[in-house]
């Protein structure tokens, strides 16, 4: 499963990128507004940082304007994926943009029938929001399993399932087990994925034991060893 980071914060993206584990970025108008920066300049800078898909969302609500916005956004950078809401007009725009060879991410999916429509319209990605479903007492991970099954049953459907609205590390594991192609994860949750008290405890013990070794300069020891073998 690929991992995208769900943010428009450049510092967060830079740090996550430095870990060598992210494959792309998703943004939305809310995340961009939160940063208080120019929309297009921010999107371009993100796309320059990450060698992978970067979702940039249209803000129009009618198909003709969505299409116009989408075609322009796709020209901003080769990594741009045009993000479109799952509405009547959004599906029209998705179909038209896909026909033009523009990659699309259809967002705000809450049921499998919506995902099927997006796939039929040629969406590159469909984004089911599992956390928001959980808030309503509905198992969001079950939706991921359902969509994955539908797509596997019809090999003509090439859409990737992009699990969104991820709330915690358990969500990440669950959607991976359910067969999601991608999970887009907030920076805070990505940091939580590293953490376990047993890891910290074990590392502390290793360091305590290592402190008893006379020569602890691994780089120096290794360099001398390799030089002696030449």
- Of 83, 158, 208, 230, which residue is the catalytic one? 83
From start to end of the chain, where are the E strands? 2-6, 24-26, 54-57, 80-85, 104-109, 125-128, 160-163, 182-185
83: annotated active-site residue = yes
Quick check: 112 and 146 in contact, CB under 8 A?
Answer: yes
Helices 140-153 and 112-120, packing angle to 10 deg: 40
C-alpha 106/C-alpha 157 separation (Å) is 14
Quick check: 8 and 27 in contact, CB under 8 A?
Answer: yes
C-alpha 86/C-alpha 107 separation (Å) is 6
Q: Read off the tokens for 178.
A: 């359910």
Place of tokens 């020569």: 215
Place of tokens 């060879």: 101
Inter-CA distances, 128 with 17, 132, 181, Å: 24, 9, 12
The catalytic residues are 83
């Amino acid at each position: 499963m690929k991992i995208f980071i769900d943010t428009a914060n450049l510092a967060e993206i830079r740090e996550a990128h430095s870990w060598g584990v992210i494959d792309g970025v998703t943004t939305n108008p809310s995340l961009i507004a939160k940063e208080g920066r120019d929309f297009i300049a921010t999107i371009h800078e993100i796309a320059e940082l990450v060698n992978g898909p970067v979702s940039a969302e249209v803000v129009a609500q009618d198909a003709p304007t969505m299409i116009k916005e989408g075609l322009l956004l796709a020209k901003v950078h080769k990594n741009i994926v045009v993000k479109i809401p799952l509405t009547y007009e959004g599906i029209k725009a998705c179909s038209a943009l896909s026909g033009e060879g523009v990659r699309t991410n259809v967002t705000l999916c809450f049921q499998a029938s919506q995902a099927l429509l997006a796939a039929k319209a040629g969406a590159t990605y469909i984004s089911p929001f599992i956390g928001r479903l959980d808030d309503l007492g509905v198992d969001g991970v079950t939706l991921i399993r359902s969509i994955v099954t539908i797509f596997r049953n019809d090999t003509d459907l090439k859409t990737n399932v992009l699990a969104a609205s991820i709330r915690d590390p358990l969500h990440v594991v669950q959607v991976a087990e359910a067969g999601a192609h991608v999970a887009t994860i907030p920076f805070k949750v990505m940091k939580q994925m590293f953490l376990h008290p047993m890891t910290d405890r074990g590392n502390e013990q290793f360091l305590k034991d290592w402190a008893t070794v006379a020569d602890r300069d691994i780089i120096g020891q290794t360099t001398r060893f390799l030089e002696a073998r030449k």
